[in-house]
Amino acid sequence: MRTLRTLTSRPTAVVAIVVLAIVSVVAVAAPAITPHDPLAQDTSHVLAGPSAAHWLGTDYLGRDIMSRLVAGTQLSVLAAAEAVVIALLLGAGSAVVAVFSPQPVRWVLERVFDSFMALPFITFAVAIGALLGNSIHAAMVAVGVLAAPTFFRVVRASVLEISHTQYVEAARLLGVRLPRIIRTHVIPRIVPVLLVTSASVLAASLLVVASLTFLGVGVQPPTPTWGGMLSADLSYLALRPWNPVAPAAAIMITVAAVSILADRIRDLGDGTRAPEAAPDDGRAGEVTLSDDAAAAVPAQPAPADALVAIDDLCISTEAGTDLVRRASLRVPRGASVGILGESGSGKTMTVRALLGVLPDGVSVTGGRIAFDGAELAPDAVGRRDLHGRRIGTVFQDPSTWITPHLTVGAQVDEVLRHTHGLSKKSAAATRDDLFRHVGFRDVQRVAHQYPHELSGGMLQRILLAIAVTGEPDLLIADEATTALDVTVQAEVLDLIRRLRREHALTVLMISHDLAVLAHSCEYLYVFRDGDLVEEGPTEQVLHAPHHPYTQSLIADHAVFGIEALRHASRSTHTPAPPKETTRL
């Protein structure tokens, strides 16, 4: 409704909508509103001028031009709409298939639609008409096929961008099937693109239909069409020069209205920005944490009981660049393990390899990954039953991992219904319990809000609620506190520790922040430039590091950390001596 109000606030858009509404009514109600029979001939009134009986005059056979114009509107407009529907289904459907299909299928579809773009509209439509019979439907099939590449190229670019968003990846990590991802997360996001492209193709199709009917392709006299009326009146242009004005004006005005509306919708899309997220103020009124949130972390189990085992992992790009080289690590059951490293060090790629969601062009080239004693296949298919059920994930920048056009409650309900097979009512009740579990007070209000209406800390708590819905064995937190305020960081870390204790979770945390991992983990792995350079218990890594890189990290933290700043502030700030007072 807000978008419609914004659109109707523009005068040109209102005029275009009114014109198209009139054309639509005329096209639908043409048989009932024609003043005369559009096929009836009156040889006594041939090429008559406008009059009370014939508002636009008559043609060379004495037929009423106004009646033929109204009757021709139906065939001309509906034929163009038929071509748009064919192009939309063929082009947009193929675009979605191409994005989510293997490379060979994608290549074939792209080459086919590239070939269609090389064919001329009119010539191809005439050829199809000769092949299938001279009918308007055969001609519109040809027009729709040749207009499909427009939808294919535009929709493919939009779907490709959406397919790489974090909220689509999050749905995949939760084990949501591809058809549901397309239906829920992709199609609603490309509706504006489809509207703009459909309007543009409709304008072009109206011109093509007029051209074809002008040439007599698809229809035969005396069937009235806008293009056919123009063709018939040209022979008598010297006698009645105003006769072609009405059909020509109908074509131009309708095409102009469709083009203007398409431009206004496009401008509306370009000027629409997502509202900024609510600020992270860290106020305790937004969430409540239990009193035992800061309880001590249980001791690390024996390394032999490893929930995750990675041996000699190698990850490379298609060009042969090594991203991770022979990395081996263990995540003991019930422990909290941290992976430390700067951006580009390979820590996130290692976790993505565990999840089976490496980016395109990146693959595991060596090593072994096992979860709960079972070796995992290199592709993501073997991990489908793990995502959302045995492995929960929380990533950096929570706003990008939640679908923006759905309420947060609807998204949590979707996960619950998918992972547990709950009914709609049961999923809503379970969702409310989860929201209370992660610290929300007004759960109904939160459930009906959209992601842009919540702060980063609140969104991260929602992601944590989603991550524990399936009662997983492993919780992966990849930069889960990055970009959050310090106060909110502490609340999120305390929440993770509480969830770990209450759900018997094994936690694997990835961060470039040494303080975050030191606060939450008992065992650390340090990555640099794709190599695992150091590992050991957190106390050992912090106080007796072996590798020079780890030593520099700890030294930098000692120099630039908050404790160093406090020490410097105390040493440089000398209290002023008390002023002497003089008695009067």
Indicate if the pLDDT at residue 355 is higher than 50: yes
469: closest CA among 490, 445, 499?
A: 499
Domain, as residue range, for 219: 2-271
CA distance from start to end of the chain: 77
Rounded mean pLDDT, 464-474: 82
> What percent of the chain is modeled with pLDDT above 90?
20
Indicate if the pLDDT at residue 295 is higher than 80: no
Question: In this structure, what token pair is assigned to residue 39?
Answer: 């096929």
Residues 6+ positions from 3 with CB-CB distance below 8 Å: 268, 272
Whether cis (ω within 30° of 0) applies to the bond prior to 301 is: no
In the prediction, which pLDDT does 91 show?
94
DSSP state of 58: B
Question: Is 328 among the domain residues?
Answer: no
Rounded mean pLDDT, 191-211: 88
Indicate if the pLDDT at residue 233 is higher than 60: yes
Please report how the helices 187-214 and 245-271 are oriented relative to each other, as an axis angle in degrees rounded to 10: 160
- How do the residues of the chain divide into helix, strand and coil, expressed in percent and rounded to 5? 55, 10, 30
CATH number of the domain where residue 425 is located: 3.40.50.300
DSSP 10-57: SHHHHHHHHHHHHHHHHHHHHHHH-SS-TT---GGGTT----SS-TT-
In the prediction, which pLDDT does 435 show?
87
Number of domains in the chain: 2
In the prediction, which pLDDT does 583 show?
37
Question: In this structure, what token pair is assigned to residue 351?
Answer: 């976790």
Are 343 and 245 in the same domain? no
368: closest CA among 318, 328, 332, 333?
A: 328
Are 231 and 341 in the same domain? no
Are 537 and 437 in the same domain? yes
In the prediction, which pLDDT does 560 show?
54
83 confidence band (pLDDT: 50, 70, 90): very high
Question: Is 291 among the domain residues?
Answer: no
Indicate if the pLDDT at residue 559 is higher than 70: no
Indicate if the pLDDT at residue 579 is higher than 70: no
User: Which residue, of 237, 271, 305, is where some domain finishes?
Assistant: 271
More confident residue, 42 or 282: 42
Indicate if the pLDDT at residue 294 is higher than 70: no
pLDDT tens digit string along 51-81? 888 888 888 888 998 999 999 998 889 999 9
CA distance 450 to 497: 27
Question: Is 276 among the domain residues?
Answer: no
Question: Is 322 among the domain residues?
Answer: no
More confident residue, 571 or 21: 21
340: closest CA among 528, 507, 555, 580?
A: 528
Q: Helix, strand or coil for residue 291?
A: coil
Question: Is 135 among the domain residues?
Answer: yes
DSSP state of 396: S
Indicate if the pLDDT at residue 240 is higher than 90: no
In the prediction, which pLDDT does 526 show?
92
Residue 97: Cβ within 10 Å count? 15
Give the burial string for 470-502 (b: 16+ CB within 10 Å, else e).
bebbbbbbbbbbeebbeebbbbbbbbbbbbbee
CATH number of the domain where residue 260 is located: 1.10.3720.10
In the prediction, which pLDDT does 537 show?
92
Beginning with the edge strand found earlier in the chain, give each strand of the sheet holding 531-537 in spatial order.
391-394, 474-478, 506-511, 336-340, 523-528, 531-537
Indicate if the pLDDT at residue 584 is higher than 70: no
Q: Where are the beta strands (DSSP E) in 498-551?
A: 506-511, 523-528, 531-537
Question: Is 265 among the domain residues?
Answer: yes
Q: Helix, strand or coil for residue 552?
A: helix
Are 88 and 190 in the same domain? yes
Neighbouring-strand partners of residue 309: 330, 370
Average pLDDT, the chain: 81
CA distance 225 to 209: 9
Are 338 and 232 in the same domain? no
Rounded mean pLDDT, 466-474: 82
27: closest CA among 63, 86, 75, 82?
A: 75
Residues 6+ positions from 501 with CB-CB distance below 8 Å: 292, 295, 297, 298
Highest mean pLDDT among 16-30, 34-48, 155-169, 423-437: 16-30
Question: Is 514 among the domain residues?
Answer: yes
In the prediction, which pLDDT does 562 show?
47
Are 387 and 261 in the same domain? no
Q: Helix, strand or coil for residue 528?
A: strand
pLDDT tens digit string along 306-342? 889 999 999 998 888 899 999 999 999 889 999 998 8
Rounded to the nearest 10 degrees, how much is the dihedral formed by the CA atoms of 364, 366, 369, 375? 110
Indicate if the pLDDT at residue 19 is higher than 90: yes
DSSP state of 367: E
H or E stretch covering 568: helix 562-572
Lowest mean pLDDT among 117-131, 136-150, 521-535: 117-131
Are 344 and 265 in the same domain? no
Are 247 and 347 in the same domain? no
Residues 6+ positions from 328 with CB-CB distance below 8 Å: 310, 311, 312, 313, 367, 532
Angle value at C-alpha 102, between 174 and 396, nearest 5 degrees? 35
538: closest CA among 555, 525, 557?
A: 525
Q: Helix, strand or coil for residue 144?
A: helix
Question: In this structure, what token pair is assigned to residue 248?
Answer: 């020509």
Indicate if the pLDDT at residue 292 is higher than 50: no
In the prediction, which pLDDT does 109 show?
93
Indicate if the pLDDT at residue 461 is higher than 60: yes
Rounded mean pLDDT, 482-492: 73
Are 467 and 392 in the same domain? yes
The answer to whether 30 and 74 are in contact (CB under 8 A) is yes
94 confidence band (pLDDT: 50, 70, 90): very high
89 confidence band (pLDDT: 50, 70, 90): very high
Question: Is 35 among the domain residues?
Answer: yes
More confident residue, 10 or 93: 93
The answer to whether 113 and 123 are in contact (CB under 8 A) is no
Indicate if the pLDDT at residue 573 is higher than 70: no
In the prediction, which pLDDT does 116 show?
85
In the prediction, which pLDDT does 303 show?
43
CA distance 533 to 322: 16
379 confidence band (pLDDT: 50, 70, 90): low
In the prediction, which pLDDT does 412 show?
85
Are 263 and 387 in the same domain? no
Are 224 and 345 in the same domain? no
Are 53 and 169 in the same domain? yes
